[in-house]
Structure 1
Amino acid sequence: MSRFSRSFKALWAGEVISEFGGAAAAIINGLILFELTGSREWMGALWLVYFLPSLLLQGISAPFLNYVAKETVLRRVQLIRACAYIVPFLSLLSGVDALTITGLIALQCVLGLLAPIYASLSFSLLPEICEEKVLVEANGVLDGTLRVMSVLAPGVTALLLMVMPMHGVYILSALLFVLSYFALANIPTTGTKLKPNWSKRFWISEMKDGFNAFVRAPQLLRLALLSSTVQFAVGATMVLSIPFIRMELDGAQWEYALFAAAFPAGYVLGTILLAYVPKTEVMMYIGLVCGGLSFVLLFFVQSVPLAWGCELFGGVAFPLFNAQSAALFQRLAPRNRLAQISAVRLLIFRATMPLGILFASWTSLGLTTRSTYAVAGSIIVLPGIYYLAKAFYHQGKGDKGHSDVQSSNEKRESNVI
């Protein structure tokens, strides 16, 4: 971490603290709702309440993100999140089931609305607080550490429940978000942005300009679409993983738990590996292709340990693509519209994941669990192989100017609107 700026360390600390608090509370949300209703449908509805409003707000709010002080908004979002966790805590104390469910729904709605704003602004802030030479590593460290928190949270939450009631975790999460606020306060504020004279016509114009800036930059669109294929496969995996281990491979519950932990564990290893590999187009697409192959290989495996190996392999491979493509996107996007374009990028991701869920759930397609893994992986691998071949071709010609990673500064200047 010594190579990173103080501002990045503050952002990293703020995100890590809040990620753990949010993951722990999410576990409690599910436990409480299932105890009250015993219904999988209610569990699904709770996630829809989180997911669907955020898609709408993300599209609407994109133009505003160009005209805010990112550091200030990030801190305010954390305070609002902290306050939101008090709602289910109070509703649980009431002892009324209807109020408790209403409190959980209110919490999910607030968190869902704030998540895309926070993610878009923190993504667009990264190039401002990191030197360009460490931007790839910064994305990898941030992403990898957040995944570590998602792995640690269930175990730590289980230990917490041995010494405190479930609703006490909400207070802990609220305190962690307040702590995140103070961590983010160490990022210097660049100053309040100019506030334009908002009108319906100006908002429509900003929306149009932002989407046009995204679409007119083929490299940005390509990176977003390639990343969205990964999100599609991840969405499908949310449906497939349990029946694959428990039914296809006749695995035990603990074997599924290790299967679920193998990918994030591999991701941490991949993040470490990222510091030692060349930051080139070729390596970026190798990560994409190998990550996609980890899904395809699940079509062939006949034992649980091999399935663990596939997930571990995918976890190691994907950071090579994710971190480098994120850094490349940050470099190529017009700096004055980065927050808005980041929101569009995230909107594509968040819209693609439910498509993967629907695809894996659509049994009328006649695909087995194994076949669905193969199709989802192929959607990643095929375009990845195409762009990997192109990268090899230009590398063989010595066309360094063609490399996205190496020529990002020049291309960013040519894309400025």
Structure 2
Amino acid sequence: MKKFSKSFKALWLGEIVSEFGGASGAIINGLLLYELTGSKEWMGVLWLVYFIPSLILQGISAPFLNHVVKEKMLLNIQLIRAGAYIAPLIGYLIGSDVGIILGLVVLQCLLGLVQPIYASLSFSLLPEICKKEELIAANGLLDGTIRLMSFIAPGATSLLLLVSPMHFIYGFSSAMFFLSYLALSRIPHSSKERVATWTKKFWWAEMKEGYRTFFKYPHLLRLTILSSIVQFAVGATMVINVPFIRGDLGGNYWEYAVFSGAFPIGYAIGTVLLTKLPKTFQMMYLGLIGGGLSFVLLFFVHAVPLAWICELSGGILFPLFNSQSAALFQRDAPRDRLTQLSSVRLLFLRVTMPLGILFASSSFLDLSTRQTYTIIGMVILLPGLFYFLVSLSQPEKNILKNKKSMIP
């Protein structure tokens, strides 16, 4: 951490706090709504309220993101999130179940609207607050932190529930986002001078220009598609992980808890390992191959401990691809449109996760959990293997040293 700038440390600290608060609040959302309604349909509605406005805004907001001061917008978003978590608490304080449900809907809608903007801006801010050679480590550290918080937050929230009513966790989450706001406020608004001038083109023309620019860079499109495939697999595993451990392997609840925690723990290990390994194209695609293979191997697993090992291995290997591919995108995207192109990239990633959920839950395909693991694993492994073989023609040097010309 010593080698990173103060601005990056502030961004990293803000991510830790906000991710913890968001993960805690998300757990309470599901528990509270099910307690009030006892309906899985309402659970689906709550996620639709999050995803649909989010994806719509993700698709149409890209033209505007080049014309904002990133640091200032990040602060505003954290304040919006802090306020949004108060909505269900207000419903509880006035003693109305309808008010609580309405508060949950408002919360999910606001979170869905601001999340893609926050993610796009923070992603595009990294090249401005980090040196070029630090981008891979910075992406790995941020990504690993988010994964680790997704593992720590459930246990910590359980402990909080022992000493606090469920509804007051929303106050805790709100406070976490305000603390994140304070941490992010330490980032100087240095990007203000670099904000692109609004061309005064009609919104549709500006948006088409952004997408056209994105497709002018085939290697950026390729990296985005490969990352999207990984997100597709993540969406599929959200459906089949529980049936696999509890059904196929006959595991207990605690064994599933260990399985679900193995990936984020592995991811944190992988981000540390990444700092020790050479930053080459071969290593990047080996991470993709190994991650896909970890899914394929689950087809052959008949004991829960072996499933833990596969999941842990996938967590260790995927950062080798994710962090390096993200750093390449940040380096090679045109700087004056980086925020806009980051939003387009994130749209690809976010759309494929629901597609993975639909694929794994489709009764039409009639696939077993093991077959589903094999398919999503091969969809990741085969492109990774192809590009690994292509990359063998490239000299093994740091992938951030030379720009564009060396990208296989």
Per the alignment, residue 406 of structure 1 pairs with 401
Is residue 260 from structure 1 mapped to residue 260 from structure 2 by the alignment?
Answer: yes
1:350 is aligned to 350
**Preserved CA contact (<8 Å) 2:394 2:406:** no
For residues 95 and 208 of structure 1, what CA distance do their matches in structure 2 show? 48
Partner secondary structure for residue 161 of structure 1: helix
Match of 1:196 among 195, 198, 208: 198
Partner of 1:415: none
Deviation at 1:409, TM superposition (A): 6.3
Matching residue's letter, 1:99: G
What is aligned with 2:65? 65
Q: Is the 8 A contact 1:281 1:405 kept in 2?
A: no
- Counterpart residue number, 1:151: 151
1:117 corresponds to: 117
TM-score w.r.t. the length of structure 2 is 0.97
| Aligned: 1:127 with 2:127 | yes
- For residues 176-195 of structure 1, the aligned pairs below 5 Å read 176-190=176-190, 191=192, 193=195
1:18–1:180 contact (8 Å) kept in structure 2 = yes
Deviations 1:266-324 (A, max 9, x none): 00110110010000000000000000111111111011000000000000000000000
Cα deviations by residue, 1:73-95 (Å, 9 ceiling, x for unpaired): 00000001111111111011122
Paired residue for 2:80? 80
Describe the SS at the equivalent of 1:251: coil
Question: Equivalent residues in 2 for 1:360-375 (5 A)?
Answer: 360-375=360-375
User: CA deviation digits over 1:57-82, x for unaligned, max 9?
Assistant: 01111000000000000000000111
2:33 maps to: 33
What pairs up with 1:199-218 in 2 under 5 angstroms?
Answer: 201-218=201-218
Code of the residue aligned with 1:408 in structure 2: it is: K
* Runs of 5+ consecutive residues of structure 2 not aligned to the other structure: none
RMSD: 1.5
Query: TM-score scaled by structure 1?
Result: 0.95
Tell me how far apart the structure 1 counterparts of residues 268 and 394 of structure 2 sit (CA, whole Å): 31
User: Mind listing any 5+ residue stretches in structure 1 that lack a counterpart?
Assistant: 413-417
Task: Report Cα offsets for 1:85-139 as digits up to 9, x if no partner.
Answer: 1111101112221111111011000000000000000000000000111110000
Give the whole-Å Cα distance in 2 for the aligned partners of 1:300 and 1:221: 34
What count of residue pairs does the alignment treat as equivalent? 405
Report percent identity of matched pairs.
61
Q: Which amino acid aligns with 2:70?
A: K
1:8 is matched with 8
The alpha carbon displacement at 1:205 in A equals: 1.9
Q: Which residue of 1 aligns with 2:102?
A: 102
SS in 2 for 1:365: coil
Deviation of residue 143 (structure 1)? 0.6
Which portions of structure 1, spanning 4 or more consecutive aligned residues, are displaced by more than 3 angstroms?
192-195, 403-406, 409-412
Query: Residue 196 of structure 1: CA displacement?
Result: 2.7
How many angstroms apart in 1 are the aligned matches of 2:272 and 2:154? 23
What code does the residue aligned with 1:137 have?
A
Shift of residue 41 of structure 1? 1.4
The answer to whether the 8 Å contact 2:133/2:400 transfers is no
Shift of 1:405: 3.8
For residues 335-361 of structure 1, the C-alpha deviation after alignment (integer angstroms, 9 at most, x for no partner) is 100000000000000100011000000
